[in-house]
A and B are shown apart, each in its own frame.
Chain A
Amino acid sequence: MDRIYSHPQSLRDVPTHYCPGCGHGLAHRLIAEAVDELSLREQVIAVAPVGCAVIAYDYWDFDCSEAAHGRALAVATGIKRVRPQNIVFTYQGDGDLAAIGTNETIHAANRGENLTVFFINNAVYGMTGGQMAPTTLLNQKTSTTPEGRNAQFQGYPLKISEMLALLPGVKYIERVSLGSAQDITKTKKAIKKAFTNQIEGVGFSLVEMLSPCPTYWGLSPCESLDWIKNIMAKEFPLGVIK
C-alpha cells in the first residue's frame, strides 16, 4: 500500500502547549510539511517570536533562534545576510509583528530582505491573557477593552499587510485563513510560494494567516472558525494583496 500521508520530518512528535482549537499547531504543521516537500529541512533557519509561539523551536526539528519581542525580522536580517545560502523565516503574532515590532517589520520589508514571514493574526494577545492586539476588531471584547474596542480611544484594526504592500521592496503578500479545510489548502500553497520566492531570490514575502483563538475570543473551536469566516475575514479580506 502506498503511504500518502505521514508525520512531517520537520515536526517533532511531541504534544504542543496550545489551547484546544488554536491555529498555531496547524500553522506549525503546514510550515513543516512545506519545508519537507521543498527539501529545505537542512537549510532552514527559523526565528521564533515572543508570544504564544515562543517555544516553536520545541516543535520544529530544524535550526531555530529566539528573538526579543518584536525583533524577529532584525534577527532574521542578521542571520540571512551572513548566511544567504540558508532559507530564513520568521513566525510572528500580531502583537510581535504589528505593535512592538512594527519598526523592524517595515524596515526589513523596505530593505527588501530576501526573507519569508509567517504572520499569525488572531486579533488578540494570547500568551499574556487576551489583551487588545493591533488587529483586534472594533467592538471586540478583550481584557484591556472590556467594553469592546472603541475607535475613539483605541483606534482601528491595523492592516499591516496592506501597508507593507505599498513598499517596493515587498514582492509577495497574501492573506489566508486557517478557518476551513479549503482555506488550509490555500494556506499551504501560499506558504510554499513564500519559501519558493526566497529560494529564487525574489525578495520579501509575507503570508498572513487568520487564525482561531477560541480561549480569548470566548467561543468554542467550531464557533471560532465561523467567526473567522463571517466576521474577521470581512475586516481582513482574504487573497493575494501583492
Chain B
Amino acid sequence: MRCAPLCARIAVLRCTNKMPKILMSGNDAIAEGALRAGCSFYAGYPITPQNELTAYMANNMQKRGGVFIQAEAEVAAINMVFGASAAGARSMTSSSSPGISLKQEGISYIAGAELPAVIVNIMRGGPGLGNIAPSQSDYFQATRSGGHGDYHCIVLAPASVQEGYDLTCLAFNLADKYRAPAIILGDGMLGQMMEPLELKNQSPKPKAKPWALTGCAGRKANVVKSFYLKEGDLEKLNLKLQKKYKEITAKEQRWEELFLDDARVVLVAYGSMARIARAAVKTLRGKGRRVGLVRPISLWPFPKKAFTRPKNKYLVVEMSYGQMLEDVQLALCGKAKVEFLGRSGGGVPSEEEIILKINKIYNG
C-alpha cells in the first residue's frame, strides 16, 4: 500500500476555542494512542490494510525510548510481545485478519500465562487471503477464544479515528488491570480514513508487576507459564480465569446509544458500520421514523446491559453474514424480533440499503 511521508499526512486544523486537532488516519491514531499510553515495545509484520501503523511505530517508537522490531513472521511478532510483556513492558502487535489467524497460538499462551498485551486487528475480507477491503468477519474469532482453550480477550471496537486513539489507551489499562490480552478490533475503513483528532492527554494507569521477569534479585524466582501438568492444577487456573472473566463482564461493558427512548426499531452496529447506521438513523428521524441505535464499544464483554429493556424490533447490521447477530439474539433472549442486514467480502451495507430494510420492517 502506498504510504505518503508522515509530514504530508498530518495537517493541523484550526479550531477556535478548542484544543488544536490534527488530521490523522485510524492506523496512525492507534499507534500514537499506544505510544502515549506508555507502550514501549512493538513487533509487527507487513500486511495491508494496517501497514501505516507499523510504519508509524518504526518512525516514532525508538525516538521515544521504546523498541520497534519488524518481525520475521506474525507468529514471531506475537511471541516477541509475549516476551516483552513477561518482562514487564507495555507491549503491542498489530496485523490484519490472515495475520491475526497466525497469532492465535501466541494469544492463547498470553491468556494462559495471564500476561497483559494489546493486539490490533484491522480487519479485511476473508476467508483465506480474501481481499484488502474492510470487513467485520473476524468478530467470532476475536470475541470467542480465537485460539485453543477456554479464554477471552477484552475486545474494543473504535468507530472513529478519535476513538481509535482513545480506546487504545483504555486497552492497555484494562490489559494491565486484568492481566489479559486486549484486542482493538477495527477494519480497513477505520484504519485508512483520515479524520481530525484531538491528542487528548492520556491517562495510562500502569500497574505494579511483581510477577514480571526482571532477574530474581531480592526475591524468589518468578516463572511465567501456562503449563500445569499436575492433576487439578490446570483446572484451578481455568477457574481463576473464569472468575476474572466474570468480573470483566460485570464491570467493563461499554456502548453508545442514540434515540432509544421512543424507538420502534433499534439498529445495532459497531465500528465503521455504526457510522453508516448512525447516518441512516438521522435521515430516518428527519422523516419522522422512530429509529434508535445501540453501538457496542466493547464486543467482549458484549454490552448485554444495553438490551435489558427490549424495544419492539432490532436490526443488526454488519460487514459479515451475522456474527455479532448471535450476541444480540443471546442478549435479547427471544424478547424482541431481531432482523439482520449484512454483506461481506468487501461489500459494505449502504445507508440506502439500511433505510430500505427499515422501511420494510418498520410497520411489520
Contact = CB atoms under 8 A, between A and B. Distances in A.
A-side interface size class: 35 or more
A170 B43 CA distance: 22
A90 to B, nearest CB: 10
Interface string B210-233: 000111111001111111010000
- The dominant DSSP class at the A interface is mixed
Contact of B84 (A47, A54, A82): A82
A77 interface: yes
Interface string A77-105: 11111110010000000000000000110
Interface in B77-92: 77, 79-89, 91
A104 B41 contact: no
Contacts, number: 139
Given A42-B215, A65-B225, A66-B227, A74 B113 contact: no
8 contacts: A55-B227, A61-B216, A64-B213, A66-B225, A67-B79, A74-B79, A81-B80, A83-B88
Given A75-B86, A82-B87, A103-B76, A68 B106 contact: yes
A141 interface: no
A75 B83 contact: yes
A55 B76 contact: no
A61 to B, nearest CB: 5
A78 B106 contact: no
A107 interface: yes
A44 B222 CA distance: 11
Interface in A1-43: 41-43
Given A42-B216, A45-B215, A107-B72, A78 B223 contact: no
A78 B41 contact: yes
B199 interface: no
B135 to A, nearest CB: 28
B216 A75 contact: no
A63 B223 CA distance: 6
B215 A79 contact: no
A123 to B, nearest CB: 25
A173 interface: no
A47 B113 CA distance: 14
A206 interface: no
A78 B86 contact: yes
5 tightest A-B CB contacts, nearest first: A78-B83, A74-B79, A107-B72, A78-B84, A75-B83
Contacts of B229: 55
Interface of B: 40-41, 43, 67, 69, 71-73, 75-77, 79-89, 91, 105-106, 109, 113, 213-218, 221-227, 229
Contact of A78 (B73, B79, B109, B217): B79
A76 interface: yes
Given A74-B83, A78-B41, A82-B41, A65 B91 contact: no
Given A82-B67, A82-B89, A86-B214, 9 more contacts: A44-B215, A61-B216, A66-B223, A71-B75, A71-B82, A78-B83, A79-B84, A82-B84, A83-B88
A125 interface: no
B87 A104 contact: no
A62 interface: yes
A67 B82 contact: yes
A62 B221 contact: yes
A104 B75 CA distance: 9
A227 interface: no
Contacts of B77: 74
A57 interface: yes
A74 B133 CA distance: 31
A79 B109 contact: no
A38 B287 CA distance: 79
A62 to B, nearest CB: 5
B224 A74 contact: no
A63 B67 CA distance: 22
B86 A107 contact: no
A63 B212 CA distance: 9
Contacts of A47: 83
A126 to B, nearest CB: 15
A81 B216 contact: no
Contacts of A63: 213-216, 221-223
